[in-house]
Structure 1
Amino acid sequence: MAFFRAANDPNGQAYALNNLGWTHATQGRPEPALARCREALDLFRTTGDRPGKAATLDSIGYAYQLLGRHDRAVGCYTAAVELFRDIGNHYDAAEILRRLGEAHAAAGAPEAARKAWATALRLGTELGHPDVEHVRGRLRDLG
């Protein structure tokens, strides 16, 4: 990250911060994940990098999900899906829709989970996404 600061590259710095935040989250440390990802999001808002902003919203959503803040996770995931769809990145949108379904299910909203997973399944099948069987299983579990 020091390299990007020294190079006066806020976009590179934002990507590094988001990657650091995602790593914290995947290691079960949501609080530092949120701190790094919020820094990244502020930079992406300044630079206008929409893919970076979408990826960071996904990371923030995941951190909120780890904290049990499913309402906040849903908001972040929804915004990330919309951004990825707007820029034509349906592959990442499908992946985030899977997590959106998980957040809805954890929040006690099975119909919203079903809708997110059904869309993830459709997109994932079209694009050959590796999460398709997991999503199909989650839909089957809902009945």
Structure 2
Amino acid sequence: MFDRAQLFLAGMSIALLVQLSQPVAAAVSVGKVVQTAQTNSSDAAAKAFKEGSQLYNQGTAEAKRSAIVKLEEALKMYRAAGDRSGEANTLTWLGRIYSDLGEKQKALEYYSQSLPLLRAIGDHSREATTLNNIGLLYSDLGEQQKALEYYNHSLSLKRAIGDRSREATTLNNIGLLYSDLGEKQKALEYYNQSLSLKRAIGNRSGEAVTLNNMGTVYSDLGEQQKALEYYNHIMSGRLPIIKTPETTGTKGSSS
């Protein structure tokens, strides 16, 4: 039998146990709610991103503007979900669209935001691509030295990860930059390196771009017969023998 004092103490113990158990249950409940919210946000972001990419692929300026709206929605939701990979990917897409629309400074803003995220998650392939694309933007803006810095960073990273296809693209872009600066022989050195790589990996369309660029350089140098040879190689599909100099896109190409 319990006396009144014992009954009182027993009641207090039960009450205390109930109180102590409640925060734990609440914490578990809050954790599940947060996790569910993040999952839902990430799923919704992926849906908005898909809709944005589909709009972009329509190709018109109007569709690209609509794509920006969808991708901005996706960006907010990826950030809310803490999805840094999705956030970085969306930022690079926004940079690409603004570049297509001719808004170079706006494109730079988005690419620049994506770079630290790509580095943080260790996505070196997309980091190298973004560096190349920033180089293209600076080249278009007439800041050739700045462009060359980004191209060289991209080139080093692509070589480190063994991405020969994109390495060839950046080599072509550096060649184009030197050509624009009037350093034609330097341009030919980089075009030759690019062409050799494109040939090695079987990138026929890329070869045609670089051959055309080399033809343009020879034409600028007054070597019209040489230029014609390179243009004819494009038409015939037969490639010239490449001799890479011992020292060391028709437009630039994104990669």
Task: State the secondary structure of the residue aligned to 2:122.
Answer: coil
Question: In structure 1, what is the equivalent of residue 33 of structure 2?
Answer: none
Say whether 1:122 aligns with 2:236. Answer: yes
Q: Deviations over 1:42-81 (max 9, x none)?
A: 1111111001100000110111011101101111111111
Say whether 1:20 aligns with 2:103. Answer: no
Say whether 1:45 aligns with 2:168. Answer: no
Give the Cα separation in 1 of the matches to 2:135 and 2:220: 22
Give the Cα separation in 2 of the matches to 1:103 and 1:84: 19
CA change 1:122–1:27 in 2 (3 A) is: farther
Give the Cα separation in 1 of the matches to 2:232 and 2:140: 25
Q: How many residues align?
A: 124
Q: Residue 97 of structure 1: CA displacement?
A: 0.9
Question: Following TM superposition, where does structure 1 have runs of at least 4 consecutive aligned residues deviating by more than 4 angstroms?
Answer: none
Question: In structure 2, what is the equivalent of residue 64 of structure 1?
Answer: 178
Give the Cα separation in 1 of the matches to 2:148 and 2:157: 14
Q: Residue 121 of structure 1: CA displacement?
A: 2.5
- Amino acid of the residue matched to residue 221 of structure 2? A
Say whether 1:33 aligns with 2:126. Answer: no
Which structure 2 residue ranges, 5 or more long, are not aligned?
1-114, 238-249, 251-255
Q: 104-113 or 5-14: which moved more?
A: 104-113
Identity of aligned residues (%): 30
- Normalised by the length of structure 1, the TM-score is 0.79
Question: In structure 1, what is the equivalent of residue 190 of structure 2?
Answer: 76
Return the index of the structure with the highest Cα Rg: 2
RMSD between aligned residues: 1.6
Q: Deviations over 1:88-141 (max 9, x none)?
A: 110111011111111122223323212211112334xxxxxxx8xxxxxxxxxx
Question: In structure 2, what is the equivalent of residue 138 of structure 1?
Answer: none
Which structure 1 residue ranges, 5 or more long, are not aligned?
124-130, 132-143
Give the Cα separation in 1 of the matches to 2:204 and 2:215: 16
Give the Cα separation in 1 of the matches to 2:226 and 2:143: 27
| Larger relative contact order, structure 1 or 2 (CA cutoff 8 Å, min sep 6) | 1
- Amino acid of the residue matched to residue 154 of structure 2? A
CA contact (8 A) 1:28 1:66 kept: no
Task: State the secondary structure of the residue aligned to 1:68.
Answer: coil
